[in-house]
Structure 1
Amino acid sequence: MAADQGIRIAGDGVAEVSMTDARANLTQLIRDVRYGGRSAAFTERGARSAYVVPAEFYEQALEDRLTTEAIWRLIDDTFGEQNREQLKVDLSRYRDQMRHET
C-alpha cells in the first residue's frame, strides 16, 4: 500500500485511511485486509472510527464473545455476588497482564 494512495500503516500495523480518502482506496484496502491479513481502520480527524478486519478475525471474535458470556453465566450460577466481584477484579488484572505481555 503506497502512502500516496492515502493509506498509511500505523505503528501497531493497522492500515489507516481517512474518511475523505476512503472511497478512492476502498478496493485496495479491502484486498489488503482479505489477502494480507492486516486489519484496517477508517479515521476521522486522525481518530479511528471504524475497523475492517479479516473474516476469520470477526468470526473468532464472535466465538470468543459467546465463550466469555458462557463463562460469566457459569460464574453467576456457581459463586455468590461477593465472590463474583472479586473474580471480576482478578480477571481484569489478568487481562491487563496479558495485554502487556503481547
Structure 2
Amino acid sequence: MTDRPTVHRNQIAEARNVLGEVIARARFAGEPTILINRGKEAAVIVSYEDFATLRELRAYLEELRSGDTADAKHKARVLDEALALAKYRALDSG
C-alpha cells in the first residue's frame, strides 16, 4: 500500500503569499493544498499530472456510462462506487 501524500490547508490569502511554495509542493512532492475561503474548502491546487488523471477518469466513466453493453454498465457501476467511496473517505478525513 502506498503512503498518502501530505495534504496542506491554507486560507486563500495565505496561499497567495506563498504561491510558489504551494505550486512546488503540488508539482514536485505530489502534495495538494486545499484552499479555504470563509471557513469552507473552495478549491485544491494539485499537480498537472493529478489533474490530467482525474480528467481522464471522468472521461472514461462517461464513456462507460454511455456504453450499451452489460460489461460497460458493470464497469461504470464499479467505478461510480469507487469514486463515491473515495469522496466519502476524503470528506470524512477532512
**TM-score in terms of structure 1 length:** 0.62
Q: CA deviation at 1:97?
A: 8.3
Displacement after TM superposition at 1:23 (Å): 1.8
Structure 2 segments unaligned to the other structure (5+ residues):
90-94
Identity fraction in percent: 21
TM value normalised by structure 2? 0.66
Aligned equivalent of 1:62: 55
Deviations 1:34-90 (A, max 9, x none): 11111111101332101111111111111111110111011xx347xxxx8xx7xx6
**AA in 2 matched with 1:95:** A
Q: CA RMSD in A?
A: 3.1
2:82 is equivalent to residue 95 of structure 1: yes
| CA–CA separation in structure 2 for the residues paired with 1:93 and 1:72 | 10
Query: What residue ranges of structure 1 are gaps of 5+ in the alignment?
Result: 1-11
Following the alignment from structure 1 to structure 2, what is the Cα–Cα distance between the partners of residues 26 and 97? 31
Residue aligning to 1:53: 46
**Deviation readout 1:4-43 (Å, 9 max, x if unpaired):** xxxxxxxx83111102212211111111111111111110
Matches within 5 A, 1:1-102: 13-74=6-67, 77-78=68-69, 91=78, 94-95=81-82, 99=86
Q: Which amino acid is the alignment partner of residue 16 of structure 2?
A: R
